[in-house]
Chain A
Amino acid sequence: MSAAVTSLLVMGAVALVFGIIISLAYSKFRVEVDPRVEEIFDILPGVNCGACGYPGCQNYAEAVASGAAPPNKCTVGGAEVAEKVAAIMGLEAGEVEKVVARVLCIGDREKSVWTADYDGPQSCAAAHVAGGAGKACSYGCLGFGDCVEACPFDAIHMNDKGIPVVDEEKCTGCGLCAEACPRDIIIMEPVKNRTYVFCRSQDTPKRSREVCSVSCIACGICVRLAPEGLKMEGNLAVVIDPEKVTDQAIEKCPTKVLFRI
């Protein structure tokens, strides 16, 4: 009983003394900072995703207040936040183009070939290091969902066949999923672009055909039909201008890996 009372008193006294010291120190050593930093920080989403190029929202707020960064770098907050931040700074907001993640692989469990069983750690990064978890294609999606775990906005989910699907509404374009993907299948693209070759395979045409039914086999038909819309990068056709990819090119793709979403 007495020990409880004395410990309560002593600890209370010590805590009180330290509390007073801290509050005194705070009032004595307070540093005036630009009040706009705090205002901007309050408006920012506060998720510290780093999409703006700064380590966190605090750093970005400081950079904007000091004039080092434009007010429209926050892709998470979008146009709304950019306008408010610009209003504080007395600037024009400028356009914030909505960017979303695109998953460039549709080789799900049914369409691609799997040659081995894998029961190691259930993550793409581990499976990738271990040679690909038995998926024959060494470029395709492994399906363990590292991207799903990386997403702070619940905007990417695995479908029932093991390919991640991006929820465009929720996706803020922070790019954390693209970073998490060991196979670089996920790219960040303006939301208005909707036409892609949904494959990243650089395998030879023969090998591509063997390992996946929906891979780019580098036949070059789409590039011939729409030379301004696509080009070959090694063994892979890549969309360079979605506007100029013709319907005919999409139709003629033998593996149906070039399409619009």
Chain B
Amino acid sequence: MELLVIFISALLINNFVLHYFLGICPFIGVSNRLDSAFSMGLAVTFVMTIAATVSWLIYYLLLVPYHLEFLEIVSFILVIASLVQVVEMFIKKVSPPLYQALGIYLPLITTNCAILGVALLTVLKKYNFIETLIFALGAGLGFTLAIVIMAGIREELEFADVPETLKGAGITLITAGILALAFMGFSGLV
């Protein structure tokens, strides 16, 4: 039950994009088309889950025993950057079509603050290993959900008569704001 609450809360209530406002860059940048938004979401979920669990291991097996908690941000960034590198090479070898689909998004994930945010929050919330795994998975799927909804709206917006001054980034940010308001409705869920 506890795990379900963590999952739902990361997925909907404390959605990383629409509640914490983390990972806005890919959220705005890669939400032009539905299929690429979905790939991006899956890539983020994948990297987020691995990065959070490995970061958890590094933190509790290395940093805490040696009293080096102050190094968490530096070491987490190291973990994320290295992981993305390995994941990229792995996907390139194993599944070229997936590599083509993800394209530049994979390296972009390295600098996605939502990933670092998840890793830091698991430490802050003192989650154990399983909870961390579930939390990261929920957060990643929450990101996917948000970016896919956003892409769906933006594809429709292409046909809308947007005032000249609001075209492009302006209407996108307004849409994101309204979407965030809508997600506030989940706050009474658990």
Name A's B-contacting residues (CB within 8 A): 3, 6-7, 10-11, 14-15, 18-19, 21-22, 25-26, 28-31, 129
Contacts and interface: CB of A to CB of B under 8 A. Distances in A.
B158 to A, nearest CB: 20
B66 A6 contact: yes
B80 to A, nearest CB: 11
B68 A7 contact: yes
B128 interface: no
Contacts of B66: 6-7, 10
Interface stretch (B3-11, B12-20, B83-91): B83-91
A14 B58 contact: yes
Interface in B90-122: 90, 92-94, 96
Contacts of A29: 89-90, 92-94
Interface of B: 58, 62-63, 66-68, 71, 74-75, 78-79, 82, 85-86, 89-90, 92-94, 96, 164-165
Contact of A31 (B74, B86, B92): B92
A25 B85 CA distance: 9
A42 to B, nearest CB: 21
Secondary structure class of chain A's binding surface, majority of residues: helix
Contacts of A18: 78-79, 82
Contact of A26 (B63, B75, B89, B94): B89
B75 A3 contact: no
Given A25-B89, A29-B92, A14 B78 contact: yes
Given A14-B78, A15-B78, A25 B86 contact: yes
Nearest to B63: A10
Nearest to A21: B86
Contacts of A3: 67-68
Contacts of B94: 29
Given A10-B62, A129-B164, A22 B75 contact: no
B144 to A, nearest CB: 25
Contacts of A28: 93
Nearest to A26: B89
A22 B92 CA distance: 14
Tell me which of A3, A14, A28, A129 has the highest count of chain B C-beta atoms within 10 A of its own C-beta. A14
Contacts of B164: 129
Contacts of B82: 18-19, 21-22
Contacts of A21: 82, 86
A129 B170 CA distance: 14
